A and B are shown apart, each in its own frame.
Chain A
Amino acid sequence: MALKTEHMVLNMGPQHPSTHGVLRLELELEGELIKSVKPHIGYLHRCFEKHAEAMQYNQVIPYTDRMDYLAAMYNNFGYVIAVEKLLGIEVPERVQYIRVIMGELQRIASHLVALGTYGLDIGAFTPFLYLFRDREKILTLFEMTCGARLLYNYMWVGGLSHDIHPDFQRMTKEFINYFKPTIVELDNLLSYNKIFIERTANIGILPVDTAINYGVTGPMLRGSGIKFDLRKDDPYSIYHRFDFDIPVGKGLYGTVGDCWDRYYVRVREMEQSLKIIEQAIDNIPDGDVQSAIPKRIKPPKGTVYSRVENPRGELGYFIISDGNTNPFRVKVRAPSFVNLEVMGELCKGHLVADVIAILGSVDIVLGEVDR
């Protein structure tokens, strides 16, 4: 007589050490083998888009901080670019340079969290603390610039909230010199670790066509081998002036588009960000960072879609203006949200432990997924 068997449903999250926030995954298991994964979201929904309709244009900026709280600078960046496009104002050179430097520092800081927590997910505790130590130095730079360490409200429509500190350039250069060897250290400690490669190579392979069909962007898409980066392909601000490469996944230890590739793309992107900062840091022109800030933001009727390359992918702001001081509608295309959708596809046929590895490599921020 055959025994009646059924699949076990395991509820992972919203309180779980490695769902990176309040994500809930409904796993259907056969033993430890995944049969299906269903992500449930919405535990951190704060009605950003509805709130934005009740705010004046500049009042929306602090709310954008709270979406992707690990890359708050970049969220500011994307939003102010969109509003500036709507208003049709030119921003001073100095502001442009500082924005790019801040944006790239933020990218490094965000990737450091992503890589560190990824190591933690795989079970390596030490790289996590090393990377957070380095991130601390970036946060110090932000703190001396605008006083905040996580949620900056730094980039304003037409300018910046504060000019940079007199020591900023020197300390940034010190950071670059300090940080370059630590990337090598990270590679030795984690990236090329045999166990780490065993755990991540050939796991959660994202084929190119699936990636494109799901609209996946950022390091995930580049991990699958597509050279697509908005800083190069649809340049905004002054990114076209800088020389940098776009690292893509090559399947060094497994198949193109596996977890290791996504991880490795982020490591190499940090180097490219350093390269951009190095080119920009000595060329910041003089000027007033607040000279172009409009007294009253009242854009003409119309719509705008503006997109930037956030550390997680394409961050797009779609703003409808009805000619008032408040936006009529602000819609955000959040990269984490779009990237998370592909989870179910990636996890098929893997083990429970791989779900964590895959989720970590997607690098979601729940604040942005739920908004």
Chain B
Amino acid sequence: MYQYFYNLLGNEIAATLITAAVPLVNVLLVALIGVYLERKVSAHMQDRLGPMRTGWHGVFQTIADFIKMLQKEDAVSTEIDKKLYNLAPVLVFTGTFAAYAAIPFSSQLIGSEAEVGIFYVVAISSLVVAGILMAGWSSNNKYSLLGAMRSAAQIVSYEIPTAIVILSMVMLTGTLSLDKFSQMQTAYFWNWNIFGGADFGLVKFLLIPFMIVGFIIVFISTLAEVNRTPFDIPEAESELVAGYFTEYCGMKWAMFMLSEYGNMFAVSAIVTILFFGGYQSPVGYVGDLLGADWMIPLEQGFWFIAKGWFFIFVQMWLRWTLPRLRVDQLMSLCWKYLIPYAFVNLIIIGFISLI
């Protein structure tokens, strides 16, 4: 990405700044639009209209809320562990934001073209757990503590099936780089990994069912990792009030909110890259037709964000349809079903790739 902006602007500093700013702007936009969309999606699913007063169909509602958050008094209990309490939201947000560094938005828009991109994303998003535990512990609130404990157990457990499926994909493609993942699934949608990858032949058709299983496992476990219904047990508002961020308010609370939506997009991006062609267009590029090369990265960016938002929509859809699981049921789903299936899937994909 740096090279792209450097070529475009011819200025090192400006290129560096823009390279760093793009993911940040994206996270903020995702949160801004995500909150609005969540309200609208839920409202229309529930026979309501949702926010309607701030701007056309309430489009400025999130901005109004954001301003309200900024103005809020930072009311904190005297019994808290100040350092950890203040650090926790920052850490949670950092974990989310850092993951964006390696996500390729298009062939030119990559913060870091790290060779171990997928590994880095999985590792850095674990930072969130530490932040959540800190928030829960330092709040000195029993509900927060329960929420944090649940959250830690949940996120750590669900990283395992995700990692196993990612491993099977890595095995198949032979790369850890998210950019290469995307490049391999080039051109048309039947080359996507969910449809068996770009190689046309027996292997492709053998792979399809196992790819679908892998996709379902990854989707369920990423849902759990970002604490969305039916796995929103850490913040289960009917049981734990608000879980680990019960004691937070104002901007610190908004940081958690921001990272929740940022995380939603991040995991959607991972799912997209692994199975749905990353930034590749499903139907070819307008830039190719017109012979305008500079258009292609922009088109890729569009497709990537569109795919990401599609999965965010699915997450919202599930949230407003399903009830919540219980802690032990959540754990048994992970350890008794997802992990064994992921392992079996890994082995079968291994055999198929030997053919």
The reply to whether chain A is a binding partner of chain B is yes
On A, residues with C-beta under 8 Å from B are 8, 10-11, 16-18, 32, 119-126, 129-130, 133, 189-190, 193, 195-196, 198-199, 351-356
Closest 4 CB pairs of A and B: A123-B324, A124-B323, A18-B238, A129-B46
Chain A, residue nearest B325 (CB): A195
Q: A123-B229, A351-B328, A352-B239 are in contact. Are A199 and B323 (CB under 8 A)?
A: yes
Q: Indicate if the CB atoms of A123 and B236 lie closer than 8 Å.
A: yes
Q: How far is the CA of A101 from the CA of B237 in the complex (A)?
A: 37
Tell whether, in the assembled complex, residue B327 and residue A353 are in contact, meaning their CB atoms are under 8 Å apart. yes
Nearest B-chain residue to A19, judged by Cβ: B238
Residues of A within 8 A of B159 (CB): none
B239 engages A8 (CB within 8 Å): no
CB distance from B52 to the nearest CB of A (A): 16
Contact A354 B142 (CB under 8 A): no
- Contacting residues, chain A, for B328 (C-beta < 8 A): 351
- Pull 23 A–B residue pairs with CB atoms less than 8 Å apart, ordered by A: A8-B142, A10-B142, A10-B146, A11-B142, A16-B241, A17-B241, A18-B238, A32-B146, A120-B238, A123-B322, A126-B46, A129-B47, A130-B47, A133-B47, A189-B321, A193-B322, A195-B324, A198-B325, A198-B329, A199-B326, A351-B327, A353-B327, A356-B239
Known A-B contacts A17-B238, A18-B238; the reply to A122 vs B46 at CB < 8 A is no
In chain B, positions 117-168 with a C-beta closer than 8 Å to chain A are 142-143, 146
The reply to whether the CB of B232 lies closer than 8 angstroms to some CB of chain A is yes
In the complex, which residues of chain A have a beta carbon less than 8 angstroms from the beta carbon of B49?
none
Distance of A170 Cα from B197 Cα, bound (Å): 62
Question: With an 8 A cutoff between CB atoms, is B57 at the interface?
Answer: no
Query: Shortest Cβ distance from A18 into chain B, in angstroms?
Result: 4
Question: Which of A129, A189, A353 has a CB less than 8 Å from the CB of B326?
Answer: A353
- Cβ-neighbour of B230 out of A10, A18, A195 (below 8 A): A195
With both beta carbons as reference points, the residue of chain B lying nearest to A125 in the complex is identified as: B320
Contact status B323-A195, CB under 8 Å: yes
Known A-B contacts: A32-B146, A123-B230. Give 14 more (CB < 8 A).
Answer: A17-B237, A17-B238, A32-B327, A119-B323, A123-B324, A124-B323, A125-B42, A126-B42, A195-B323, A196-B323, A199-B324, A199-B325, A353-B236, A356-B239
Minimum CB–CB distance from B238 to chain A (whole Å) comes to 4
Which residues of B have CB within 8 Å of A17? Answer: 237-238, 241
For A133, list chain B residues within 8 Å (CB): 47
Contacting residue for A126 out of B45, B232, B236, B326, CB 8 A: B45
Within 8 A of A (CB), among B285-314: none
| Interchain CA distance A133-B45 in the complex, whole Å | 13
Q: For residue B322, which residues in chain A have a CB less than 8 angstroms away from its CB?
A: 123-124, 193, 195
Residues of chain B contacted by A125 (CB below 8 angstroms): 42, 46, 320
Complex contacts, A11 vs chain B, CB 8 Å: 142
User: Which residues on B sit within 8 Å (CB–CB) of A18?
Assistant: 238-239
Q: Of A16, A123, A351, which is within 8 A of B323 by CB?
A: A123
Q: Using Cβ atoms and an 8 Å threshold, which residues of chain B touch A126?
A: 42, 45-46, 320-321
Nearest-CB distance from A152 to chain B (Å)? 26
* A83 to B168 CA separation, bound complex (whole angstroms): 76
- Alpha-carbon gap, A323 to B45, bound state (A): 58
Whether A353 touches B323, Cβ cut-off 8 Å, given contacts A8-B142, A133-B47, A198-B329, is no
A123-B238 contact, Cβ under 8 Å, with A195-B325, A198-B326: yes
Residue B336, interface by CB 8 Å: no
* Chain A residues positioned under 8 Å from B146 (CB to CB): 10, 32, 352
> In the assembly, what is the distance between CA of A130 and CA of B47, in Å?
7
B323: A residues at CB distance < 8 A: 119, 122-124, 190, 193, 195-196, 199
> Smallest distance from the beta carbon of A29 to chain B beta carbons, Å?
8
Smallest CB gap from A355: residue in B = B239
- Using Cβ atoms and an 8 Å threshold, which residues of chain A touch B321? 124, 126, 189
Contacting residues, chain A, for B230 (C-beta < 8 A): 123, 195
Across the two chains, which residue of chain A brings its CB closest to B145?
A8
**Residues in A whose Cβ lies below 8 Å from that of B82:** none
CB A25 to nearest CB in B, in angstroms, measures: 12
Interfacial chain B residues near A129, Cβ < 8 Å: 46-48
A123 to B329, CA, bound (A): 14
The CB with the most chain B CB atoms within 10 A, among A123, A124, A190, A352, is that of A123
CB contact list, B31-50 vs A, under 8 A: 42, 45-48
- Of listed A11, A120, A126, residue having the most chain B CB within 10 A: A126
